[in-house]
Structure 1
C-alpha cells in the first residue's frame, strides 16, 4: 500500500476521550524531575551563599506555577476540542506520524518567536507575559512563572493547527516547547559551545532576554531556537551582568494573584482615566516601554507642579 501523509480520516468527536488519553502528559511526568533539579540548585545556592533565590519571590513562583497547572488542566479538553474541529475542517489532514513532530516543532517555534515578541511590544499581550519577567532573581523557579491567562495566546498558534498536523502531534509539540524552557533559567550554566549558542536559546541567550538594561530590553525572543532572533534583528549576546526584573518592579512578590493580574489591573485603570478613544487604545495596545516612559514623564510633571505650588 503506497505511503500517504495527507488525507487522513476525520476524528469523531465521540472519540475525544480516547484522544485525550493517548496524548502523553509529558509536563506532569516532568514535574518531579523539575522539582528535583530545583531543590539541587537551591541547595547549591545556599551552600555557596549566592543570592540567586529570594524567599518571597520563590514562594510566588511556586504558587504561580501550581496555579498554571490547574488552569492548563481545566482548559485541556476545550483546546483539544478546538484542535480536532480545525483538523476535521481542512482537507490536508496529516496522518499520525511521529516524525511530523520535527517540522511541527520548528514551525511552532517560529510562531512562538512572534507570539513572544508581540507579547513585549503590545501592552495587552504584555499583561499575559509580565508574570514571567517580574522576578528579580534568575533561577529554575522562574520557569514556573507562567501567566494564568497566557492561553489567550493560542490565537498566535492557530496557523500551525491549520497546517494539518494531527492534534496529538500539536499537543506534544506544545509540551516539549514548554519543557525546553525550564533548563535555560539558571545562572549555573554559563556560555556553551559556539555552535549551540548560535542555534539554541541557551541560558546565556535567555538571561539577556530577562535583563532590564536598555541594551537587553526586547531582545532574544526565541523559545528553542535563537536563530529567529538573528534573522529578524533582535539578537543580543550576553555582554555584561544582567539586572533582572522589569523597569518598575513589583512589591508584592509572594501573592500569585497580584503577580498574575497587577498589570491587567493597571491597564484597566489607565484606560478608564485616559481621555479620548485613541489614548485608550494606546494604553491597551501601545508599547509597554513607551507607556512606562509616558507615565514617568507625567509623574515628573506633576511633581514639578506640586513643588511650584508649594
Structure 2
C-alpha cells in the first residue's frame, strides 16, 4: 500500500475477528458506573425537591429493561462484529484504522440513525422495536436504559454505513459514542441551551419534544446527535408547551420488562388474527402506528354503534 493512502486496507481474517471481538472497546460497559451515579444524583435531587420525575414501577421497569438490553447486546456482539467485518472485506475501498475517520463515520451514522428512528415511528412492526423507549410517562435518565431487546433487527439501516468501508473498530466506537451521547438527553434538569447548540444538536430540550404525546409533538425531532437532519427533512418542532410524556395508549404492568418489551408485538399478533382480509392484516403489521390507532378507534366505534342498534 503506498505510503499516505487510507484506502485498500488488508482484509480481516477469521482469526483476527475473534481477537477483534475480545479487544474492541466496550465504552458503554465502562460508562455504566458513571451513568448509575448520575441517575442516582438525579433521583435524589428529584425526591429532595419534590419533583415528580420518577415513579417506583417505571424505574424498576427501566432498570430491568436496561439490564436485559446489556445481556442481549453482549450475546450478539460477536455476530454483529462478524457482519461488520464481512461487509468490510467485501468492499475494495476498505479504510485503515485511523482515528480521524471517526468524524465522517459519526456524521454518516447519525444520518442513518435519523432514518432508522423515523421508520421506527412510521411502520408498526419497527415501532414494536422502539415503543419500549417511549412507554415511560416520566422523563428522567432511566428512560435512556429503555432499549428494546429486539432493536438489533434495525442493523439493516446501518449496513450502508458499513459499505463506506470504515474499519469495524471505528464503526463500533461510533455506535457506542452515539448511544452514550443520548444518555444526557433524557432529563428535565437541562433546559434550553444556547441557540446555536439548539440549532445543531439534539439537546435535551429538542429530545423532550420527541417524547411528547401531544399531537404537535408526535413524530418530531428524530435526530440522535444532530437535530439539523430534522430541519432538512421538515420534522423539527421546538419545545414550546410542557411536554406530556408517554404514548397515546399508555401501558400497565410498568415494572414488568417482558410486558414493556413485547406488548406491542402481542397486540400486532392479536390484531392480525382478527383482521378481515390480507389488506387489513398488512396495515395492522406495517402501517403507521397513528393510522392503526385511528383504525382501531373507528372499528371500536362501529362495533359500539352496532351494539346500540341491537338493543334499540
TM-score, scaled to structure 1 = 0.99
Distance 1:19 1:98 in 2: 16
Q: Is residue 2:86 matched to residue 1:85?
A: yes
Give the secondary structure class of the aligned counterpart of 2:60: helix
Q: Is residue 2:107 matched to residue 1:99?
A: no
Q: Is residue 2:112 matched to residue 1:131?
A: no
Report 1:1-310 matches (<5 A): 2-310=3-311
Distance 1:194 1:118 in 2: 28
Distance 2:196 2:153 in 1: 34
Distance 2:114 2:260 in 1: 24
Structure 1 unaligned regions, length at least 5: none
Distance 2:148 2:3 in 1: 46
Distance 1:20 1:128 in 2: 26
Distance 2:295 2:20 in 1: 50
Give the secondary structure class of the aligned counterpart of 2:285: helix
Distance 1:67 1:125 in 2: 19
Residues 168-227 of structure 1 deviation map (CA, whole Å, 9 limit, x = unaligned): 000000000111100000000010000000000000000000000000000000000000
Shift of 1:275: 2.0
Shift of 1:306: 2.2
Distance 2:79 2:250 in 1: 35
Structure 2 unaligned regions, length at least 5: none
Distance 1:145 1:304 in 2: 39
Shift of 1:273: 1.4
Shift of 1:136: 0.3
Distance 2:160 2:63 in 1: 32
Shift of 1:165: 0.3
Residues 210-249 of structure 1 deviation map (CA, whole Å, 9 limit, x = unaligned): 0000000000000000000000000000010000000000
Shift of 1:309: 2.6
Distance 1:85 1:122 in 2: 29
| C-alpha RMSD of the superposition | 0.8
Shift of 1:300: 1.7
Residues 86-111 of structure 1 deviation map (CA, whole Å, 9 limit, x = unaligned): 11111110000011000000000000
Q: How many residues align?
A: 310
Shift of 1:261: 0.3
